[in-house]
Amino acid sequence: ARERLLAQAKKPAITRDGRKVIVRANLELLDEIPLALDFGADGVGLFRTEYLYVTRKTIPNEEELFANYRQVVESLYPNIVTFRTLDLGGDKFAEELDLPEEINPALGLRAIRLCLKNPALFRIQLRAILRACAYGNVRIMFPLVSGIEELREAKKFLQEVFEELRQEGLDIEFPPCGAMIEIPTAVFIADHLAKEVDFFSIGTNDLIQYALAIDRGNEQVAHLYEPLHPGILRMVHYILEAGHRAGIHVAMCGEMAGELLYLPLLVGFGFDELSMNPQSIPAIKDYICALSFEECRSLCEEILQFASAEEVRNHLEAWLEKKG
Ligand code: PEP
Ligand code: MG
């Protein structure tokens, strides 16, 4: 059965009624690439780039980053690699940056905010990513976008670095550019954000944390962390509507994307892409092939009427039971 699952995972995941869902891997290390390919990843939907910054005393230089990114891009060619720009701060620290301690790090200077405040740090990474574009298929996405100015500012940096590299003679196209949707304000201006990017990727780990005010790493409140909260499902639905109305691709790359229980909802909401731990890919692809998009869509319509996570869960479990 495992052999069959792995063989099928190498093929695209298409529902019984013909809707394709791209299934990609979340990666952080070069070592994980063979595993991702073995498990049938259609590319990388989230490459977390913090590793080289948090595991050592000094900040990596452009050449080191470029060598690393190039290897990722080449090993996955012709598949797409989605580089997320630095998401430091919060619970991830780089010793050399020596940032002041914060009382509320999750609400502090992290991710895109930190990069916009440290242009040199940001530019070095953007240069390395853009140089890697010459070796395969690359997308770039910005984490923790809260508003349009921030997104425009990040894109301006990217544009400047792109022109600088072109002047230096680098022959590349401007890569597709995306915003991670991880903050509730970004959800509700998704229609505006969609005009500025080629794709969205929902980071549910953070989105749920910020929407429910539940620290994602705090054991005391872990039981309240609830992806099926109707408020969360409405946000997810809203992002898809806004993204698709604007004609852009919508992905999910938080942990929620790799859970079988949530899959009928994610398919029904109309995700173009789900990105997850490589280990989850074969079972998720297999299940997508067993689902009907139309049935999942009706399920979503029903589910969106409920007032509590408990009702959502009961209905979802009954539906799963009925479908066998
Ligand atoms: C997320 O927040 O869901 C996400 C994918 O990013 P990270 O877990 O790295 O914050
Ligand atoms: Mg996140």
Q: Is the pLDDT of residue 27 over 80?
A: yes
pLDDT digits (tens, 9 = 90+) for 49-76: 999 999 888 999 999 999 999 999 999 9
Return the amino acid letter for 46. Answer: L
ipTM for the predicted complex comes to 0.99
Give me the active site residues, please.
Answer: 253
**Ligand 1 atom with the shortest distance to the CA of 206:** 2
Ligand 1, atom 4, lies closest to the CA of: 203
CA of 253 to the centre of ligand 2 (A): 9
**Ligand 1 atom with the shortest distance to the CA of 204:** 3
CA of 208 to the centre of ligand 2 (A): 10
Locate all alpha helices (DSSP H) within the chain, ordered by sequence: 2-9, 33-38, 51-54, 62-76, 111-117, 119-132, 148-167, 184-188, 190-193, 204-212, 230-245, 263-269, 281-290, 293-303, 309-323
Which residues lie with the beta carbon below 6 Å from any ligand 1 atom?
A: 46, 48, 87, 182, 203-206, 253-254
pLDDT band at 99 (very low <50, low <70, confident <90, very high): confident
Q: Is the pLDDT of residue 146 over 80?
A: yes
Phi/psi for 134 (5° steps) reads -70, -10
Residues with Cβ–ion distance below 5 A, ligand 2 = 182, 203, 206
pLDDT band at 1 (very low <50, low <70, confident <90, very high): confident
Ligand minimally distant from the alpha carbon of residue 255: 1
Q: Is 70 annotated as a binding residue?
A: no
CA of 267 to the centre of ligand 2 (A): 22
Share of the chain above pLDDT 90, in %: 92
Q: Is 216 annotated as a binding residue?
A: yes
Q: What is the pLDDT of residue 320?
A: 95
Quote the tokens at residue 28: 């952080």
Single pTM value for the model: 0.97
> What is the residue whose two structure tokens read 């948090």?
54
Q: Is 206 annotated as a binding residue?
A: yes
Q: Is 205 annotated as a binding residue?
A: yes
pLDDT digits (tens, 9 = 90+) for 203-238: 999 999 999 999 999 999 999 999 999 999 999 999
CA of 264 to the centre of ligand 1 (A): 21
DSSP 211-226: HHT--TT-GGGGGG--
Q: What is the pLDDT of residue 165?
A: 98
